[in-house]
């Protein structure tokens, strides 16, 4: 299964793992990391405590950046009328676009079926009705860290969370899936 699984991280988990100096944990399962262009833009467009670290990590070549119509539209809107450019939820829309593409590619004869694992942190996503194609999954940062621990790839999920919080990350208190 690992060969046909791609990890699609949203901005929240990237920021949390950057605060914890633990971005390498995204590589532990051996799945390709597909970073959608809109999410990359979200985490690097403003100077933040993690923006430079995330830009360098993305440029280091361990991830592929997938172009989306969502980001193209956002750039066009910014160019035409910056005041009218919407920013809220565009990363999630771009990830949704990518997952829909995975679903469409899965119905092409001879095309390998790819599973997208949407890694999120925002508590609004956990509660939202997010269209999840049958070949995609969503998992919270906490659940992902617990998965890594269960696989023996991480000594302590709580330690990563603690490191992020101590470095200044305001980490969601919502647990998904609920305990």
Interval 114-138: pLDDT, tens: 788 999 886 655 555 567 778 888 8
* pLDDT at position 1: 41
* pLDDT at position 67: 94
Q: Find the helix or strand (DSSP H, E) in which 176 lies.
A: none
* pLDDT at position 101: 87
Q: Find the helix or strand (DSSP H, E) in which 126 lies.
A: helix 123-127
The residue count of the chain comes to 179
Distances (CA, A) of 68 to 6, 25, 96: 16, 25, 10
Q: Which residues contact 75 (CB under 8 A, 6 or more apart)?
A: none
* Residues 112, 95: Cα–Cα separation, whole Å: 20
Residue numbers of the chain with a pLDDT score lower than 70 = 1-3, 84-85, 106-112, 122-130, 172-179
Provide the token pair at 45. 């467009």
**Digit-coded pLDDT (tens) for 59-76:** 997 899 999 999 999 988
* pLDDT at position 127: 53
Q: How many CB atoms lie within 10 A of CB 112?
A: 9
DSSP annotation of 84 reads G
* pLDDT at position 50: 94
Distances (CA, A) of 47 to 77, 101, 106, 118: 22, 31, 38, 25
Question: CATH number of the domain at 2-166, out of 3.40.50, 1.10.10, 3.10.20, 3.10.450?
Answer: 3.40.50
């Amino acid at each position: 299964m690992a060969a046909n699984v791609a990890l699609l991280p949203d901005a929240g988990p990237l920021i949390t793992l950057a605060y914890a100096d633990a971005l390498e944990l995204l590589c532990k399962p051996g799945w390709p990391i597909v970073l959608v262009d809109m999410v990359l833009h979200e985490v690097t467009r403003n100077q933040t405590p993690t923006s430079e670290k995330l830009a360098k990590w993305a440029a280091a070549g361990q991830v592929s950046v997938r172009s989306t119509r969502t980001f193209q539209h956002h750039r066009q809107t910014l160019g035409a009328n910056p005041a009218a450019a919407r920013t809220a939820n565009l990363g999630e829309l771009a990830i949704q676009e990518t997952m829909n593409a995975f679903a469409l590619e899965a119905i092409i004869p001879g095309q390998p079926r790819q599973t997208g694992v949407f890694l999120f942190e925002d508590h609004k996503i956990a509660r939202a009705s997010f269209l999840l194609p049958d070949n995609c999954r969503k998992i919270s940062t906490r659940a992902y860290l617990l998965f890594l621990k269960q696989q023996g790839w991480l000594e302590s999920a709580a330690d990563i969370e603690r490191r992020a919080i101590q470095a200044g990350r305001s980490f969601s208190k919502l647990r998904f899936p609920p305990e």
